[in-house]
């Protein structure tokens, strides 16, 4: 079995083929027979897990297992405690009401890479950062949550999936999970466990490691 973490760059599809010639994971990860666990939008960046372990792929993608995922969002405007409290309680979006999330204000992530296409800046409106941890999977959920509290999302980076983090992976770089990491992940989300009884420890960005441009393991192709 293969278990690979990749830092998906901006404007790359979360798939290995595209009939329209857009960039895909195949441009960065020269490994066949693996598939992404869940999705990450074309205009979002950050952590993806790729595997050929179909059982684990199902468990991590199924909302009933409540796998926490943390996102760093750069938003237009100033993050207020009122906005954070709304996100923590859950907000109404087009797809329905979101479940309570962890939401905290944060500084810009340390040593953050530049995006290939810069975000738009308006001189009269500041930007700020927040970390949101969710365990749902609604379409473009974090962006819609931010918009619902008056904070349009300018940039979105997935920082972690459960205990797996970006660590030192630069955009387009990847690494294999260690046997200890993959074993722990499989044990935690074993199909023999009842997900309804599993308590999820939700982590926000302040506890995540800083992002560096230097790779730790693996390589970009």
Q: Residue 192 has what pLDDT?
A: 47
**Residue 219 forms part of a structural domain:** no
Structure confidence at residue 214 (pLDDT) = 38
Whether 214 is in a domain gets the answer: no
List phi, psi (to 5°) of 35: -140, 150
CATH number at residue 49: 3.30.2350.10
**Structural domain total, the chain:** 1
In a domain, 216, yes or no: no
75 lies in a domain? yes
Catalytic residue among 27, 41, 52, 62: 41
CB 204 within 8 A of CB 133: yes
DSSP 153-194: EEEEEEEEETTEE-TTPPTT-EEEPPHHHHHHHHHHT-TTS-
- Whole-number pLDDT of residue 193: 53
The whole-number pLDDT of residue 137 equals 81
Using a pLDDT cut of 70, give the percent of the chain over it.
Answer: 86
pTM (2 d.p.)? 0.86
User: Is 41 known to be catalytic?
Assistant: yes
Domain membership flag for residue 143: yes
In a domain, 221, yes or no: no
Low-confidence ranges of the chain (pLDDT < 70): 191-221
Kind of pairing between the strands at 45-51 and 153-161: parallel
Residue 161: give the domain boundaries: 3-207
Q: With respect to residue 19, please indicate whether it lies within any of the assigned structural domains.
A: yes
CB–CB of 72/156 below 8 Å?
yes
Does residue 185 form part of some domain? yes
């Amino acid at each position: 079995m293969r278990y690979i973490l990749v830092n998906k760059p901006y404007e790359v599809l979360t798939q290995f083929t595209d009939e329209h010639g857009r960039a895909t994971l195949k441009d960065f990860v020269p490994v066949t027979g693996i598939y992404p666990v869940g999705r990450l939008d074309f205009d979002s960046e950050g952590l993806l897990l790729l595997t050929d372990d179909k059982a684990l792929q199902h468990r991590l993608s199924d909302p009933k297992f409540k796998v926490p995922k943390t996102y760093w969002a750069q938003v237009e405007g100033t993050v207020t405690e009122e906005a954070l409290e709304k996100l923590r309680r859950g907000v109404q979006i087009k797809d329905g009401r979101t479940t309570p999330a962890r939401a905290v204000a944060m500084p810009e992530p340390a040593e953050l890479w530049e995006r290939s296409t810069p975000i738009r800046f308006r001189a009269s409106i500041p930007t700020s950062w927040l970390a949101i941890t969710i365990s749902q999977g609604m379409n473009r959920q974090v962006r819609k949550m931010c918009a619902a509290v008056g904070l349009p999302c300018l940039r979105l980076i997935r920082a972690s999936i459960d205990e797996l983090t970006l660590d030192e992976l630069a955009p387009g770089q990847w690494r294999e999970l260690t046997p200890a990491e993959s074993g722990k992940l499989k044990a935690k989300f074993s199909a023999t466990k009842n997900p309804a009884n599993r308590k999820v420890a939700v982590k926000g960005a302040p506890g995540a490691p800083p992002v560096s441009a230097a790779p730790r393991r693996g390589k970009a192709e």
